[in-house]
Amino acid sequence: MQWVLGEISKGTLFQYGPEQGILSFRNNLAQFLTKNYGDKVESEELIVTTGATSGLALTASILVDRKATVFVENPTYFIALNILRGDLGLNVVPIDLASDGIDCDKLEAAVAKYRDEAMERESRRFSCMLYTIPTFHNPTGICYSEAVGRRVISIAEKYNMLVICDDVYNLLKYEHSVPRFSRLKALCGKENKLVISNGTFSKILSPGIRLGWLEVPHSLVPRYTNCGFLLSGGAINNYTSGIIAQLLQDDDIQNNLNFLRSLYGERMQLVHDYLANNLPAGWTVSHAKGGYFLWVATNQNVKKFCEVLQEKDVNVLNGSRATPHAEITDYASADYSHCFRISIAYYSKENLLRACELVCDAAKKM
């Protein structure tokens, strides 16, 4: 902890800090991500945040017009909708998700309809943005194929659409063969001007430390460092970033990540195998190879089923909560009321196995 103690003695960690984040944190984070992604991450493109939620809210606040349209996957991370539609008042348009990623034909049709060039010229902000979780998706657990990823980038470039990826599960991969690419930003090359990677330590260290990062195209970095929020407050969570810089340098974060990959991988395999072998006919469970989630589907509405489970102290996410629309549209048709999400992140293998037994018993009684 010599470096941190030196910074504390000088008092720099107790100051506001540079808007982008202290250089030691960004340098050590860039090295850590480069090692684990397998492709280069530049410290000049990293901006410290208090987590992925902070990164999403900050990005939408400073880069997106207030009258803009945000495209999201159907289904998607439901709390992100609270930020985009509830807090910021943006127009949210859901796009159906397939087994290999977002339906690109529907996405392009929607972007062509909603993009507003006049709005962009007037406000100098984006009139449309895609919010996506392309790797170990929440709630379905899928990973985008490279073909879908490249098509998304092509659409973004054609229509000047900002893309922000919640890349919060990317480092939690349990097999060497997945995912097919480290993050969507890696498919862009050095000419990337539109794709942002939103990361966090919440999933690989602790949510309580409230620390994350944005990996931003070089041309957009000044939009962040010159925004009023950072000019007034300086680096977000400056003190904690200094401590984490030392943990990154000492390989403590890497060791913890390796431990979590083993622990979560065992849990994921256990839950999948039990459900796959014991759910009744007509029920299916996804086999995610990373992240937190398994996605269970049947041919019945699971609202009552989820309520029965809750009475048994088993909480799952009803798929309808992850569906950001109330009616069928040209771009989103399924409401996922026949699906639910299971998380393996918090409980022990013993508790997860007991919960799986209750899930299967309740499913058979349906």
For residue 320, give the CATH number of its domain: 3.90.1150.10
Q: What is the pTM of this model?
A: 0.94
Say yes or no to pLDDT of 328 above 80.
no
pLDDT-based confidence at residue 229 (cuts at 50, 70, 90): confident
pLDDT tens by residue, 338-358: 999 999 999 999 999 999 999
Which three-class secondary structure string do you get for 86-141? HHCCCEEEEEEEECCEECHHHHHHHHHHHCCHHHHHHHCCEEEEEEECCCCCCCCC
Which pLDDT does position 9 carry in this prediction? 45
Q: How far is CA 3 from its chain centroid?
A: 31
pLDDT tens by residue, 162-200: 999 999 999 999 987 777 899 999 999 888 999 999 999
pLDDT tens by residue, 113-147: 999 999 999 999 999 999 999 999 999 999 999 99
Q: Which tops the pLDDT comparison, 170 or 8?
A: 170
Domain end point (choices 199, 222, 251) = 251
Say yes or no to pLDDT of 4 above 80.
no
Say yes or no to pLDDT of 255 above 70.
yes
Residues 158 and 35 in one domain: yes
Please state the rounded mean pLDDT for residues 324-347.
Answer: 88
How many domains does the chain contain in total? 2
Domain end point (choices 220, 251, 282) = 251
For position 86, which CATH number holds?
Answer: 3.40.640.10
- Distance (Å, rounded) from C-alpha 153 to C-alpha 268? 31
By residue range, what is the domain housing residue 49?
Answer: 2-251
Residues 353 and 230 in one domain: no
Residues 200 and 283 in one domain: no
pLDDT tens by residue, 306-323: 999 999 999 999 999 998
Give the residue among 25, 9, 87, 21 at the shortest CA–CA distance from 253.
Answer: 25
pLDDT-based confidence at residue 221 (cuts at 50, 70, 90): very high
Domain end point (choices 229, 251, 273) = 251
Q: Which tops the pLDDT comparison, 2 or 364?
A: 364
The mean pLDDT of the chain is 93
- Distance (Å, rounded) from C-alpha 49 to C-alpha 47? 7
pLDDT tens by residue, 256-307: 999 999 999 999 999 999 999 999 999 999 988 999 999 999 999 999 999 9
Region of residue 210 (left: phi > 0; alpha: psi -120 to 50; beta: else): left
pLDDT-based confidence at residue 366 (cuts at 50, 70, 90): confident
